A and B are shown apart, each in its own frame.
Chain A
Amino acid sequence: MSEITLVSKDGSELSLSREAADLSPVLRSMLSRPYLEEQQSKITLNEIKPDVLKKVVEYLEYCRQYRNAGEDEDIPEFEVPTEMSLELLLVADFLNI
């Protein structure tokens, strides 16, 4: 599975598996249509802070890992720092997660 790169506000890059990216309809569309992003496998998200983006990536990978888990499997809690929650919420809206 190919990896894609997310670029945050300050230019730092994070990588994410394609499979996890597909969990956001917005990211998926960006990658599945012949836009600039699709060719570069690189998405620049100028409005998102690096720490928040990092959390988003964490969350997407977390989802990818556990979404097919059975009911009896142990799913660890996903922890969100309180002070970041509002910003995360906005980003979630933006990415339609």
Chain B
Amino acid sequence: MFKIKIRSPEGPGDGHSQAFEPSWAILDSAIDSIYDGQVNTLSFELLYHTVYSMVLRKQGSELYSRLRKAIEEKLSKARNTIVSPDPKLLVSDFLRVWEKQCDCLRLVSDFTMYLDRVYCKENRVPFVYDLGLELFRDTIMFPLKREIHGLLIQQINNARLGEPHVDSEQLKEVFNLMETLRDGDDTYFVHEFEPFLIRETEGFYRDFAKKNTEDAVLYIQKIKAQLDTESNLNCQFLNKDTSAKILKVAEEIVIAENASFVVKDGLPQLLIEKDYPTLRLLFQLYHNPKDKSELHKQMSHCIIKEAMLIEEDNALKKKGQVAVKWTTKVMQLRKSFEEVFTKAGESGANSYNTISESFSTFLNQNGRKSAEYLAIYIDSFLRSSAIADNIDQMWLEDTVSMFKLLREKDAFEKVYKQQLSKRLLQQRSCLKTEKLVISKMKEEMGIAFTSKLEGMFKDILVSQGYKAKFEQSYSAPFDFEVNVLTPPCWPFQLTTLEPEVELPSTLERLKLDFENFYIRNHSGRSLRWAYHLGSMEIGFHFSKGYHEITMPVYAALIFMLFESHDELSADEISDLTKIPEHELIRHLLTISVAPKTRLLKKNPLNKTVLPTDRFQINYAFQAPTKKVKVLAVLPKTDTSVHQNTRIDESIQDLLKERRGCVDAAIVRALKSLKAASSKSLFARVEHDLSNRFTVTTTLFEESVERLVEREYIQRDVDDPSLCRYLP
């Protein structure tokens, strides 16, 4: 075993068992010298050593409190030198004192390093330097708080108003000082000055907003300029945290609290004037999400309002033209708003949504009309571009995106289908283009929506195949075209009631041959002829020239009678052709009364057809072109009534279809759920049908009643709001 003997250490300074007072006297006078600026006469080693020995002699706490007292005294003395009456000098006095104090404190804290290291750490009291700062805060900062703060804010506000002589260096120094001083867990700056500054900023901007609320455009420019100044200023003398807070406060006040008038009054004006720079400014100012959503809301008000101003130009004769004009205008408006957003630097998905939603709201305020008009618009476009092979992609995108916004898509579908069928049968448009449009819709709506439309295409294609095949084994004496249509796909009310008519023998033979051919290929199918959908082209030499006349089948049948007759009465025509009476009258009017297509002479020439009226070929017929197209007229007498009933009919049809859809959706939903409350059932049905039309509660309730009556479903005995599926 080793025995370790420890020699009592004879550390530096030991041996002189000095008393406290003499040592302190050395230090005290040293502090005086330091404050008098005579550091260079002092020996650091001596002071350091003195502190060292005192700490070793466990006189640390005594020393610490003496130091404290000494520093406090010095500070109070310094405090009394800051009395300048001139506010500017006051701040600089203050700063001067601060710098002096810092220097002296640093010197003192240097030679008390050993005290810091041993005594302060062990006893968890602030180091000497920090102690000094605390004392500074208590003896100088707090008593002068009100004056200093007041002076600072005055300077800042002056700077905000653009006064050039603001000493931002000085401000910065003061703020640094405040950030150096600690107060509680935070710096003095954060704890005391920042709240004050924010309060004052609020006041400043409230004032500012109040003074500038006369003109919206001016206000936007002013606040933009002011906020720019603000952020510039803040860069000069504030830290990032605080600048951000200040800017936020300022923005909140000038924008969120006071700028609603700007958006309400200014925005429409800006939009009308297309003042893009200011709009851009506006969007920049409204960069925080809450403000921005407010702005977008107002934008959409404007959009809707403007869209409502688009009038249907009823001066135009045809409904089609009205629709086309209206739709074009709506699309233009949309384009112009897109432009507004882009030019204002807001081309994100958000703005796109705003536009879409606004238009959607607008279109659906008058859903059926919008749907109808859009369909008519597309129709007119497709007809006019029948020859153009390359469809304008932009047009297609725009149109389909409008279509997407419609809520009553079933109404659209109805009109569209009607028109598509006409286009297809009359070969008025380019198949490729049609298909492109349909495929776009399919992308948007899913296959269910377009299946019938596609069925129509299929019929047309298959029919072309039939024709080719048929012609292989059969040579017809003239060109002909047969389209075999599948009734459910096509929007015609076919026609079990359509009576057979008497055809000229060549046609009759062709018809029978084709029927035979078709039935050979597809046994079990029945073929029915829809004469009212067809047309015929007849060449005829009138006295003034040769014309090829395209006309409806019925009209052609009438015309062809005159191959073997010179003159016929309406009655005789009816007997010979067996055309139903109203069709007969209509087509007689078409080819004998309508001014441009007077192929027959009618006697007497008036606008009614009586059975005894007599007809003969009008050899004097002339037309500017070789090809003439005969469009069936509507009997004049009941045009308006007829049109109204037609619209009514289509509305009735639509309602009927909707009822069917709702019925089906309810049954479908209940079949899987077995039982559901009315409310959840409604929600589900509404969701299921949302891409066709909006389900109303009445529609839904009626449907439920109907289904209960027909015993598809049953109301629960105890809870009548619960519906059950009846298997």
Contacts and interface: CB of A to CB of B under 8 A. Distances in A.
A30 B45 contact: yes
A33 to B, nearest CB: 6
B43 A36 contact: yes
Given A29-B110, A94-B52, A44 B7 contact: no
Contact of A36 (B10, B13, B40, B114): B40
B49 interface: yes
Given A25-B113, A94-B52, A37 B45 contact: yes
A44 B52 contact: no
B113 A36 contact: no
The binding surface of chain B is classed by DSSP as helix
A47 B12 contact: yes
B507 interface: no
Nearest to B42: A35
B48 A30 contact: yes
Contacts of A86: 7, 9
A91 interface: yes
Contact of B117 (A33, A47, A91, A96): A96
Contacts of B13: 47
Interface string A27-39: 0011001111111
A65 to B, nearest CB: 26
Q: Interface residue tally of chain B, by bracket?
A: 20 to 34
B12 A35 contact: no
Contacts of B9: 86-87, 90
Interface in A45-65: 45-48
A53 to B, nearest CB: 11
A35 B7 contact: no
A47 B49 contact: yes
A35 B43 contact: yes
Nearest to A28: B110
A34 B12 contact: no
B204 interface: no
Contacts of A44: 43, 45
Contact of B40 (A26, A29, A34): A34
B45 A45 contact: yes
B556 interface: no
A46 B106 CA distance: 25
Nearest to A94: B12
A52 to B, nearest CB: 9
Nearest to A44: B45
A33 B45 contact: no
Contacts of B114: 26, 94, 96
Interface string B1-37: 0000001011111000000000000000000000000
A75 to B, nearest CB: 28
A23 interface: no
Interface in B242-295: none
A43 interface: yes
A87 B106 CA distance: 30
B40 A35 contact: yes
A25 B45 CA distance: 13
A36 B12 CA distance: 21
Of B12, B39, B49, which is in contact with the most chain A CB atoms at under 10 Å from its CB?
B12
B44 A37 contact: yes
Contact of A48 (B12, B41, B107): B12
Given A47-B12, A86-B7, A36 B49 contact: no
Contacts of A37: 43-45
A26 B42 contact: no
Nearest to A47: B12
Contact of A34 (B10, B39, B45): B39
B486 to A, nearest CB: 86
Contacts of A35: 39-40, 42-44
Of A26, A35, A38, A87, which is in contact with the most chain B CB atoms at under 10 Å from its CB?
A35
A29 B112 CA distance: 11
Of B9, B106, B110, which is in contact with the most chain A CB atoms at under 10 Å from its CB?
B110
A94 B39 CA distance: 22
Contacts of A87: 9-11
B12 A33 contact: no
Nearest to A48: B12
Interface in B85-116: 106-107, 110-111, 113-114
Of B9, B10, B11, which is in contact with the most chain A CB atoms at under 10 Å from its CB?
B11
Contact of B39 (A33, A48, A91): A33
A18 B341 CA distance: 67
B110 A90 contact: no
Of B7, B45, B52, which is in contact with the most chain A CB atoms at under 10 Å from its CB?
B45
A92 to B, nearest CB: 11
Contacts of A91: 12
Contacts of A43: 44-45
Contacts of B40: 34-36, 38-39
A8 to B, nearest CB: 11
A33 B30 CA distance: 14
Given A33-B39, A87-B9, A91-B12, A96 B44 contact: no
A30 B376 CA distance: 95
A35 B114 CA distance: 17
Contacts of B12: 45, 47-48, 90-91, 94
Contacts of B106: 33
A6 to B, nearest CB: 10
Contacts of B7: 86
A91 B11 CA distance: 8
A30 B111 CA distance: 8
Interface in A66-85: none
Interface in B575-594: none
Contacts of A33: 39, 44, 106-107, 110
A36 B117 CA distance: 23
Contacts of B44: 29-30, 33, 35-38, 43
A43 B9 CA distance: 24
Contacts of A29: 44, 110-111, 113
Contacts of B110: 29, 33
Given A35-B44, A86-B9, A94-B52, A26 B39 contact: no
A26 B48 contact: yes
B720 to A, nearest CB: 85
28 contacts: A25-B113, A26-B114, A30-B45, A30-B48, A33-B44, A33-B106, A33-B110, A35-B40, A35-B42, A35-B43, A36-B40, A36-B41, A36-B42, A36-B43, A36-B44, A37-B43, A43-B44, A43-B45, A44-B45, A45-B12, A46-B49, A47-B11, A47-B12, A47-B49, A48-B12, A86-B7, A90-B9, A96-B113
Given A30-B44, A36-B40, A86-B9, 16 more contacts: A25-B113, A26-B113, A30-B48, A35-B44, A36-B41, A37-B43, A38-B40, A38-B44, A43-B44, A44-B43, A44-B45, A45-B12, A47-B12, A47-B13, A86-B7, A87-B10
Closest 9 CB pairs of A and B: A47-B12, A35-B44, A90-B11, A30-B44, A29-B110, A34-B39, A36-B43, A37-B44, A34-B40
Interface of B: 7, 9-13, 39-45, 48-49, 52, 106-107, 110-111, 113-114, 117
Interface of A: 25-26, 29-30, 33-39, 43-48, 86-87, 90-91, 94, 96
